[in-house]
Structure 1
């Protein structure tokens, strides 16, 4: 601190940066650095987070614990059993103590989630859920079972939909493109079902998206995630909206002669449904 003090005192007396550096035997950039400094208080050391060997196995452990929820309470995984499976089945190089700490942490999180309620998850503005539904439609005069894509926004409880010829990646991307255009914006994040059309989450926790969807997502710049298998609560809002839109807008069986014309009208009807008060907030946001 004495050198810093000398730098600042000499500067107040009118000494140039070059003269300060020469007098104190330091470089000019160092002198300028301490002259620019506003706060000279000690800074706490920054602790660098180091990756743990258990990190890569967390999605797999979460999957096992999720399966345990549907299993008899006396036949569930212990930390020791999880460690044994990781070593024997996956060749994991992790200690029992590390696995025990992580399992305890995950179970504590699961316990808090149960206290809040499975379906009462928190969603931020701009986050969306997506899913497909099916309904009968008189397509060009012939009654057919067709698909419709639903994009819901849990924060505002708003959902929009469009009719599609199928449920593959191309249909998903086209539906999203049309809805983005009509909405005049793009969600920050979209949660999809663990469906083959967009991608698939493997038992190991690895997520693989289809090539067409990866390119589409990169073009529009939104984040995405896939639900865990058998975890419908992770996108309960859109699943409810799929049924609500079918009951409200596909009864009686509607007629359609083109996707563009039908979907334009369907979008307006969906926005009409959104005018209803929020089911929890008693108002719209």
Structure 2
């Protein structure tokens, strides 16, 4: 289809080359003479005026609509007329059944703005802002729904956004309480490698603000822990105007909450834990470094690379974001935190312990030493029980072990494996219920300082030679750990320390050459092998047909000595 610019160009060419009249040009090109005159005046076609639809049916109702809109200038914001309400009143009060919603809506949109200006009401004008690199950031929370461990769960997404580059950090927590608020800041500061030098913008979150001082601008009463946190990291807080009037003051993070929720969390993510979800989010944030905001030339990642050096450095000491509590340990070796029970080691029964309640976990301290750590439970009257906390008690009361809640939770979590079950069954068959259970508990105690994979291998090796002794499991587990040091399969310094010796000691053996290929004779418990069913012994040794040693000969000597002593006495 020919454009108006091309039409004007042909009209001007014919007039210039052939000298045709306006009438002749109009006939040749099939247009009105007014169009020909416009083309001869200017090569650029004039803009067409938008067609304004006139609704004859609306004319008689305009005064009534104007009255409603004038009343709105003094009415509360949330009780002003919408276009739909205006139409409903026109139908109820004036019988305007023939009016359509679109007709009323278009008139109300234009007329409301005119009446606001006529009445002298202030009209909001948004002025574009420039943000210096590393100077400002914005923070907000947004609700998200997650299928968490098979259950649809309402969670809260903390969003921290740098104003200059638009680089954002997102973390999902089960709550938006102060511990989640602080933990989100710490994670964001750490991920971005610094703190804004000017301020961070907030609305009036209860995690930071105790009360809003109305009539005194942006003055707020902040809670003491928030003030301590700001002082530790060295930044100022900028509080937006209360309500919807201040939403545009941190519009960047408001839009980021919606963008990330629509593009990354729709449909609802299905995860086993929030830690798994946050690990996914870290990957998505790295991918978002390649996107461009609106019409910017550079990507978010490129702008952040220039902004990051302008951030203030992080303090040397870390800040504990948890809420500090001091509950007392009850007779069940449990503490109650926010109507949820958590287990602690049994030696603390009757004592008060210090608890750091964090967004996703609780940490229990004895002085400066961590004695327990649990994933936080948000369901009221829930429980988190760890088997390790009751092992010393169960060793003295082995009969309570089979039906204990701690064992049931360990089985559910998968930490009490099939290997443990097999060892327990074999140990009870050989040693009896009580002593067999004690041997199992001694094996479970090995988990405190040895790697779980090594203990699993130790149990398998011990059962393979017919030995159901915790000492044999410990030796075999330590041997398994030693054999795998040379391969360096992700073992950390803590893992090396768990099997004894230092990292340097273990590397000094790497060049000796025969450790990996050398055949190692497994430990065999001869006593247990002799007492077990020979058909169950797979140690590879020949059957032992010798009689069990006795001390009858020594008893005869004792009898002779007793007779000699009697003769001397007489």
- 2:196 aligned to which of 187, 209, 214: 187
Aligned to 1:262: 277
Q: Tell me if structure 1 keeps the 8 A contact 2:154–2:174.
A: no
Written as runs of structure 1 = structure 2, the 5 A alignment for 1:194-233 is: 194-199=204-209, 200-205=211-216, 206-230=219-243, 231-233=246-248
Q: Tell me if structure 1 keeps the 8 A contact 2:150–2:270.
A: yes
Equivalent residue of 1:244, what SS?
helix
Q: 1:260 to 1:181 in 2, by over 3 A?
A: farther
CA distance in 1, matches of 2:180, 2:144: 16
Equivalent residue of 1:195, what SS?
coil
TM-score under structure 2 normalisation? 0.29
Equivalent residue of 1:136, what SS?
strand
Q: Tell me if structure 2 keeps the 8 A contact 1:160–1:271.
A: no
CA distance in 2, matches of 1:257, 1:223: 37
CA distance in 1, matches of 2:160, 2:269: 20
Is 1:147 the equivalent of 2:162? no
Give the CA deviation at 1:122.
2.8
- For structure 1, the 5+ residue unaligned runs are 1-70, 74-109
- 2:258 aligned to which of 243, 252, 255: 243
Q: Tell me if structure 2 keeps the 8 A contact 1:131–1:192.
A: yes
Q: Tell me if structure 2 keeps the 8 A contact 1:227–1:235.
A: yes
Q: Tell me if structure 2 keeps the 8 A contact 1:130–1:151.
A: yes
Give the CA deviation at 1:252.
1.6
Q: 1:180 to 1:244 in 2, by over 3 A?
A: same
Give the CA deviation at 1:271.
3.0
Return structure 1 stretches of 4+ with deviation > 6 angstroms: none
> For this pair of structures, how many residues does the alignment match?
177
Q: Tell me if structure 1 keeps the 8 A contact 2:195–2:233.
A: yes
Q: 1:228 to 1:144 in 2, by over 3 A?
A: same
- 1:278 aligned to which of 275, 287, 293: 293
Give the CA deviation at 1:274.
2.9
- Residues 258-267 or 132-141, more deviating: 258-267
Q: Tell me if structure 2 keeps the 8 A contact 1:129–1:192.
A: yes
Equivalent residue of 1:253, what SS?
coil
Q: Tell me if structure 1 keeps the 8 A contact 2:148–2:274.
A: no
RMSD: 2.5
Written as runs of structure 1 = structure 2, the 5 A alignment for 1:64-213 is: 72=73, 114=125, 117-118=126-127, 120-126=128-134, 127-188=136-197, 189-199=199-209, 200-205=211-216, 206-213=219-226
Q: Tell me if structure 1 keeps the 8 A contact 2:159–2:257.
A: yes
CA distance in 2, matches of 1:264, 1:204: 44
Bigger Rg, which one: 2
